[in-house]
A and B are shown apart, each in its own frame.
Chain A
Amino acid sequence: MTVSRRNGLLLGAAGLLLGACDKLSMNPGVQRGLSAAEGLTRRVQRLVIDRNALAQEFTPAEISPDFRANGSIGPSDPDYRALVKGGFTDWRLAVDGLVERPLSLSLDELRAQPARTQITRHDCVEGWSSIGKWTGAKLGPLLDRAGLKPEARYLVFHCADTLDPNATDGANKYYESIDLVDAYHPQTILAYAMNDRALPVKHGAPCRVRIERQLGYKHAKYLMRIEAVADYAGFGRGKGGFWEDRGYEWYAGI
């Protein structure tokens, strides 16, 4: 009896403790405090990782036959469906915002840009990894063509897919943002081919960005527009990306 009573008390105490942890997890002040670690991680990683250090590249034999597709895998947005139906001949990628010469590129024009092919490992925030071969236009030369204005500090990637149709505040579409360190990284490409074939719909056709030194959610799929901005606070819920608005870190280097 006393043993079961003591066990009951222990269980009760454990339950209270878990409840307290959940309360802390939902407290905005606590979360802001914990988020301080993100800034520290970003600063330290930027300090110890050379600006141009390349993500590891692999051999063709190491390519994953079962590369997983996550997030949107078949957007039902009518505009996107129309693009798929037309074989993406009507697709245009806008490069605008704080640039001297806004661009609007067709898929063929994008394919004619200086390109890079790389076999890299894609690390999902969930914990899994797959290796794939990506070919795409290097983002740096494209930005130089458009001419970034001096006040441009970030790029916002606008995507075609609605990932949270239930969001009532309008923040239902996927978007992402990076700073200029990652924008000009040699492996940052606008990938239109995966494993030597046109990028499949589930992986973001016709074009997704590769930010090889960060986690998968930064690699926005279904790209429509790249906007150079001074600050990303005015987009979505202000945290710099669809998942960032829902609690993930903006800097996803770990």
Chain B
Amino acid sequence: MSDPTPAQVLVYRHAVVTRVTHWINLLALIVLLLSGLQIFNAHPALYWGDVSRFAEPWAAMQAKDVDGARVGVTKVGSLAFETTGLFGLSGKPQAMEARGFPAWATLPTYRDLGAGRRWHFFFAWLFVLNGLVYLTGNLVNGHLKRDLLPDRDQLKPRHLWHEIADHARLRFPKGEEARRYNALQKLTYLAVIFLLLPAMVLTGLSMSPGMNAALPWLPELFGGRQSARTLHFISAGLIVAFVAVHVLMVLVSGPINSLKSMITGRFAIRNEGASS
């Protein structure tokens, strides 16, 4: 690994601002997710509109008595699933506890809304400030425009179709083509950076009664405060889904090289002719 074959070149891929903010962002997202689930557990039900119609949540995790047995039930729309041990009712077999998400998915593991909120808002500030550093740094150094906006040739339907087929077969570009992100990657990163993460912040602020007084249009933009809360939850799920695919792609495309490049900045490219 330490002696690069002539068939391999190192390119400087990630500026220091990208690398530092990437790892801070990861930490912030983990804490925000786990403390967010703690907060969700205080009222594990979701609604659409301004208010909660308690008898008919859109989605809910509850503990119920069915034929004398305690079970966890998860409801989404008109569907209901038994989710004992995971959602609605979980814990040690002899001491099952009525709670939305299980102890291992919340910060702290025990029920403490106040502590969950302290973690959440501290790391929400870190997440926002870190995001602003990322955006400013990468607007100034040109990374966003140079590396994340898809090139004209990448947007041709034929090219996109080709990429989708390659992704499905887990084949990744080598040589010159590996110097740039592929179009699916670029579009996904752009969607996460400019849609999903901002939506997370805005739906979060929509739940603030203080901010509502200053910006009454904000919760309305999402269809009301409870809709904003539901979308905050769904967006968190989409971030988890993005991270899962992101990590999977790192694993199948060369985890050592990708990880190393997000630490040192240098990414190894194998030339087309090199044996793999």
Given contacts A53-B214, A58-B50, A130-B52, contact A247 B112 (CB under 8 A): yes
B211 with A125: CB separation less than 8 A: no
In the complex, whether A213 has a CB less than 8 A from a CB of chain B is yes
**Residues on the B chain within 8 Å of A215, using CB:** 209
Q: Which one of B114-122, B179-187, B247-255 is at the A interface?
A: B114-122
Chain A residue at minimal CB-CB distance from B213: A53
Stretch at the interface among B85-93, B103-111, B153-161, B166-174: B103-111
* Chain B 38-81 interface 0/1 with A at a Cβ cutoff of 8 Å (1 = within): 01101101010011111100000000000000000000000000
In the bound complex, how far is the Cα of B31 from the Cα of A34, in angstroms? 12
Q: What sequence of 0s and 1s flags, for each residue 191-208 of chain B, a beta carbon within 8 Å of any chain A beta carbon?
A: 000000000000001011
Supposing A68-B54, A125-B113, A129-B51 touch, asked if A253 and B208 sit within 8 A by C-beta, the answer is yes
Which of A18-26, A82-90, A159-167 lies at the interface with chain B? A18-26
Say yes or no: is B223 at the interface (Cβ < 8 Å to chain A): no
Interface size in chain A (residues, C-beta < 8 A):
50
Closest A residue by C-beta to B233: A127
**Pairwise interchain contact B209-A127, C-beta atoms closer than 8 A:** no
In this complex, how many residues of chain B approach chain A with their Cβ under 8 Å: the count is 44
Chain B residues within 8 Å of A123, by CB: 207, 209, 225
CB-contacts of A36-82 with B (<8 A): 36-38, 40-41, 45, 48-50, 53-56, 58, 62, 64, 66, 68
The distance in angstroms between the C-alpha atoms of A141 and B253, with both chains bound, is 69
Cβ A31 vs Cβ B118 within 8 A: yes
User: Does A14 have its Cβ within 8 Å of any Cβ on chain B?
Assistant: yes
* Residue in A41, A127, A128, A129 with the greatest tally of chain B CB atoms within 10 Å: A127
B107 touches A25 (CB 8 A): yes
| A49 close to B51 (CB less than 8 A) | no
> B39 contacts A248, CB within 8 Å?
no
B99 within 8 A of A: no
Q: List 29 A–B pairs whose Cβ atoms lie within 8 Å, in order of A's numbering.
A: A14-B104, A18-B103, A21-B34, A21-B107, A21-B109, A31-B115, A34-B121, A49-B213, A53-B213, A55-B209, A62-B50, A64-B51, A64-B52, A64-B53, A68-B52, A121-B51, A121-B209, A123-B207, A123-B209, A123-B225, A125-B42, A128-B54, A131-B50, A212-B213, A213-B212, A247-B113, A253-B208, A254-B121, A254-B209
Going nearest first, the 8 A-B pairs with the smallest beta carbon separation are A247-B114, A253-B210, A25-B108, A254-B208, A37-B122, A128-B52, A126-B42, A127-B43
